[in-house]
Structures are given as structure tokens and as C-alpha cells.
Amino acid sequence: MNNKGIFPSVAISIAVIISAVVLSHAWTDTHTAREKINVTGLAQRDFASDLIVWRASFERRATSINEAYSMMKRDADIVRKYLMERGVQSAELIFDAIDIQKEHRSVRVGETYDRVFTGYRLWQAIRIESKHVDQIEALSREISELLNMGVELSSQSPEYYYTKLSELKVDLLAKAAADGKVRAEKIAENAGGTVAGIRRADMGIFQITAQNSSEDYSWGGAFNTTSKNKTASITVRMEFGMR
């Protein structure tokens, strides 16, 4: 047998086999890339806030700072007593430092104006942080009673929070992922295939809005603090293989 004719034949055969393998892999990669399902899983849950934050403030004006301080101390004692008699605990009640401002008015003198000192304005903020949500909510509506006691109290609307957001978020993520898998399986079933496994999953924005409202979602994530009853929602974008 002529060895010179064998080696070229073997080389050609190997080249054909290699080309076939390369083409096979190229077709498989392209084909697999097409066989995928993209879905978005969604989970929502209604919940009630378990922490309330209520803020208010009062102020006094006087030409003497000692007189102003004396009135502020009297008002602070009245406010503290009023709140504690209605069930607010001392640990829940926070008095901020007193803010002091000198006030002036403009007086025309000839062709110019002079600033004339008229007295001091003292201002103090208070804050209540409590897990007794309903109690403090009701109290915030009745606070005008302090006006009858001579205290010029200005009240803000309560803010509502939830102290178990981490656990809530984890629970919603699991449910959103499960929802996404069900959607993918249904799509695959209708297409005559089966889900081959997850390739990628990306968490969407965590949103907290008021229950039964038309409040808009935001790109950075809505975080409602004005409503006691809220709805939390989250999405998970998922990519599955299909065979």
C-alpha cells in the first residue's frame, strides 16, 4: 500500500470531522439562544403600619429672653402632662432643643431704614414615636384642646411606618419568583415545550403605596408614609431556558 496516499486522506477526514463538530456547536449555541422565555413575576401584600411618628411644635415671643424661656417652660410642662395623661409613655416623647431667634422690624429714618430689635422668638419641636398607632392617631386629632390651655401648638399630620420591612421584602421576593416560574411554565406548555431552568433573575423596585389608591409608582421606589394601611409590591424579571 502506498503510504503517500494514506496521509492526505486521513488529514481530509479529520478536517471534515472538525468542521462538522464546529458547525454543530455553532448551530446548538444559536438554537439554544433562541429557546428562552422572559417573564416578570409579581407579588403584592396589604399590611397595616405598626409605628407612628407624630410631630408638633409650640412657640413664644417676648422682649426679654428670660420671660420667653419662662413661658416656654410653662408650655412644655403643660404639653408633657397633657400627653402623658392620655397614655403617651415618657420613652415615646422627645422634646428637641429650643430654637432662639432675634426679631427685628424695619423703621424708616429719613431716606434710609433701620432695623429695630422687637424681641425674641423661641420655638420648640416635639416628636412622638410609638407602636400604639391608633392611640396616637386619635390624639393627634384632639391636640387642639391645648389651645384652650394657652399653648400655641402647631401639629403636623402623622407619619406611618412598618418595622418589619426586611421580612416583608424577603417574603415578597420569594412569591414573585414563584409567580414568574408559573408564568414561564404556562408559556412553555402552550408552546409545546418545558422549562429547562432559570438563567437569570433581576429584582425590580420595591414599592409601598397607600391601599386602594391611584398613587403612582416611581423609578426609585415609592415609600408612602401618609397612610396607615399600605400595599407593598415587588417584581422579579426572570429568564428561563426552554426545551
Instruction: Kindly report the CATH number assigned to the domain that includes residue 218.
Output: 3.30.110.170
Q: Is 221 helix (H, G, I), strand (E, B) or coil?
A: coil
Same domain, 146 and 202: no
DSSP lists the bridge partners of residue 56 as 126, 155
CA angle in degrees (0–180, nearest 5) for 216-222-224: 95
pLDDT at 138: 94
Q: What is the pTM of this model?
A: 0.77
pLDDT at 221: 84
Same domain, 28 and 98: no
Average pLDDT over residues 49-67: 96
Q: Are 168 and 115 a contacting pair, CB within 8 Å?
A: no
Q: Are 61 and 71 a contacting pair, CB within 8 Å?
A: no
The whole-angstrom separation of Cα 53 and Cα 213 is: 22
Q: Which of 115, 139, 159 is where one domain is finished?
A: 159
More confidently predicted of 102 and 33: 102
Q: Are 230 and 199 a contacting pair, CB within 8 Å?
A: no
Over residues 18-54, the pLDDT tens digits come to 343 333 444 344 444 468 999 999 999 999 999 999 9
Looking at the chain, the whole-number percentage of residues with pLDDT higher than 70 is 86
CATH number of the domain within which 76 lies: 3.30.70.2970
Q: Which residue in the block uniquely carries the three cell numbers 407579588?
A: 43
Same domain, 192 and 126: no
Split at pLDDT 50, 70, 90, the class of 58 is very high
- The distance from CA 157 to its chain's CA centroid, rounded to whole angstroms, is 19
Same domain, 235 and 177: yes
Per the structure, the complete domain to which residue 105 belongs is given by 52-159
pLDDT at 83: 96
CB neighbours of residue 28 within 10 Å: 10
Over residues 186-239, the pLDDT tens digits come to 999 998 999 988 999 999 999 999 998 888 777 778 899 999 999 999 999 999
Same domain, 108 and 79: yes
Positive or negative, the CA dihedral 172, 176, 178, 182 is: positive
Same domain, 75 and 132: yes
- The distance from CA 17 to its chain's CA centroid, rounded to whole angstroms, is 59
pLDDT at 89: 95
**Which phi and psi angles does 125 have, rounded to 5°?**
-100, 145
Total number of domains in the chain: 3
Q: Which of 159, 174, 204 is where one domain is finished?
A: 159
Over residues 158-200, the pLDDT tens digits come to 999 999 999 999 999 999 999 999 999 999 999 899 998 899 9
pLDDT at 113: 84
Q: Is the pLDDT of residue 241 over 80?
A: yes
The whole-angstrom separation of Cα 169 and Cα 150 is: 46
The whole-angstrom separation of Cα 13 and Cα 206 is: 59
The whole-angstrom separation of Cα 126 and Cα 76 is: 9
Q: Which residues have CB under 8 Å from 79's CB, separation 6+?
A: 58, 126, 146, 151, 153
State the chain's mean pLDDT as an integer: 86
Q: Are 241 and 195 a contacting pair, CB within 8 Å?
A: yes
Same domain, 125 and 215: no
pLDDT at 26: 42
